[in-house]
Structure 1
Amino acid sequence: MPHILVVEDEQEQRELICAMLSGEGYQVSDCGSVEEAILAIKQSKPDLIFSDWKLGQLSGMDLLNYVRREQGDIGFIIATAYGTISHAVEAIRAGADDYLAKPYQRQALLLAIDKVAKTQELRRQNKALSSALSEQRELVGLVGKAPCMQKVYERIKRVSATDVTVLIGGESGTGKELAARALHQLSDRHEQPFIAINCGAIPESLAEAELFGAEKGAFTGATSLKIGKLEAANGGTLFLDEVAELPQLQQTKLLRFLQEGVISRLGQHGEMSVDVRVIAATHKDLQLEVAEGRFREDLYYRLNVVPLRMPALRERREDIGRLIEYFLKLHSRAYSLEVPVLDKPVMKQLLDFHWPGNVRELSNRIERFVLLGDEQELLHELKLSAQSTLAVSGQLQLPDAGVNWDEFEKQCLQQAMQRCDSNRTQAAKWLGMSYKAFLYRLEKHALV
């Protein structure tokens, strides 16, 4: 039961209130003044305070202000004299959870105590859940408070406790594997294996054995039993990175596993059941891969039960500073070095850079800076990266038939708004335009 501190300067009234609350099973302590209450709070923090307004030279408002300043999470109910509604309004504005007007009935007091006690418990639970989620995010390296990242966190939180198959999309370096690890870490499977495999890094001749396993003698060089990744992940999670690179034959076998929950090692007679949650990721457009015949349509729908898109770093520019701070601490801790400080001009260039390699590139640059401490080299690397990007973009070839410029410009504006979640400021920066020029073009094409 909650611990309640009763603050009342009239002894008989204080004893009566304490007796009522003790009779209901609450832990109760009492004080006769604000000064005594502050000392009592410092010695043993209560869950809830029930205080009279008039308390000698000081008042319940003085106590409320102290509590909200020093111990903000304590519940607070204040009792005011009959007819002093202005006192009640003042108390609520100052942060009181509830008030009672004197004279009040025993039932009214108990109802107010019960309501505030339940509210406090809900606040504690929410705070604990939020703290746990934040710890889990940091544990797997997901950092960011941009709106687009909040959507990612929310979707991960909603589906992590299930066994649903998730397809993670996004550009290279956006943290797709981190999202997969977060899904695993927040699930009931978190104590079981998390097995990651890069489908693009496996030779096609070895893909089946790598994924499904092989019996001894199943092929030349198979001198012993090989356990495949799916079998190794039994009870846990298998992360298929760059799943678009999976050969067609293995796509068929993976589809059968997703449908039936069974696998067969290469050279094995019969099948075995395995309990594995599959999470896949790709930087390619799988719908385009399906349309061009490189990826099975039925497998695409099996994998894409819940899509999760990791935003590019340029879409969450407000997170760049937070990520820089995170990587400075992370890499300094990894190499047992002091956390270096970046000069403001250098920090500004990092914040303004477009980061084509996304979070992975940012982490790489910061790691090198932590090791070498050379800001000039850091800036030089950014300059080279920018020049490389410009060189690639200079390869754009216009069609011989020409283009409809207005339509082309309109599509550029629409895509910029989509990439930046309709944030006009970010979309303008992404297109390298001034905000006023961007707004003018939005109005020109009736996109406002």
Structure 2
Amino acid sequence: MPKVKLTTKTVEHAKPPAPGARLELFDVSMPGFGLRVGDANKSWFVFYRHEGKQKRLTLGHYPALDLGKAREKAATVLEAVEAGIDPAAEKKAAKVQAKAAEAQKEATGYFPGSFGGLADLYFRQECPSLRRGKEVEAIVRREVLPSWKDRALVDLRRRDLVSLLDPITSAGHIQKAHKVREITLRIVNWGVDRGDLEANALASPSRGRKRGGSLQRQSRDRVLTYEELRDIWLACDEISGTFPDMVKVLMLTGQRRDEVSGMQRAELDLDAGVWTIPSDRYKTGIVHVVPLVPAACQIIKRQARVSDKFVFTTVPEAGFTGYSWAKAVLDKKINERRRESGVEDIPRWTLHDLRRTLRTGLSELRIGSDVAERVIGHVIGGVRGVYDRHSYMEEKKDALEKWASVVLDAVKSKVRDAP
């Protein structure tokens, strides 16, 4: 076997001695390292001894792998041999593992050790027992899996999570970004608990440090004025569709957006004016009974029967969705009305602000906190929560009737507050 000083020029011009024959050139500066030259290709190799046996390992092909990179790979192989490792055996095992991984992906749709594989397992094992399991699965499939389906769990870092969330926050969907982050961390932490990986490198190690940037949690304190409630209600009157009526029910009941949008006909007794939200649909996991004032009952009764199950919907199989677009239309109508009256646009508000406004309004009406908290479905803690099993149904009904009177009086008023 000829030994030569391998240079870029030597490699480039090396040719086999005859058609069909092969030439092997060994590098004089690195024992065992060389170049095999054939009719169609040139490949790098390195010879070494492991446990008394001489072995050969192909490093790659020229020109895809140039001389400098080939020498580096050969040096790495020889260092591994010195440490008692057999690189050829490892390469063979890696091929077997890669083949098995491809077979698993063909069977399941996910590579082993991937985020997609862990998420799929989470969907099957954990989501069925979660009240919002279907929502969690939908968020991950829509927001995370398109980018992370085949990403190895051990390779995921905080920078990857930031890159995932940046487009969401840039679009102004801060709460959505919080939700995606929370669910993603929850799934990876679940994998850590199972032993699928050693640690969650997505989570920040600086517990207790206040988060900065656009994802910093900011508690909202927006309480709508009676004038703003009136403008919202009257704007709803000028818009057709399901969403405006849903907003009015939110205003009159103080319940959460998803609870109202998911309202089911089987939960209602409109003759008695009662809406019973089952535990599997309520955030606290406890059955919540909501008295419905006559105005709310009228709104519910006039909904088109698009679905035999859901009240507020545009499709038979699910409750209302499409909040962002619908609220943008409503805000535009509100501001058109306000400008006609020479009033500035309504400051930014959310559907959840209606719930906070109702709770604040009950306090202004001198409704006791025990009753007010029960109206919006908060769990009463401490001894009172354990021992006071009274339903407070009449008290809640009285509170909501007083609140509805305030809202409807505001709607009828033609006087604007002084600027």
TM interval, shorter chain, is under 0.3
TM-score, normalised with respect to structure 2: 0.23
Structure label with greater radius of gyration? 2
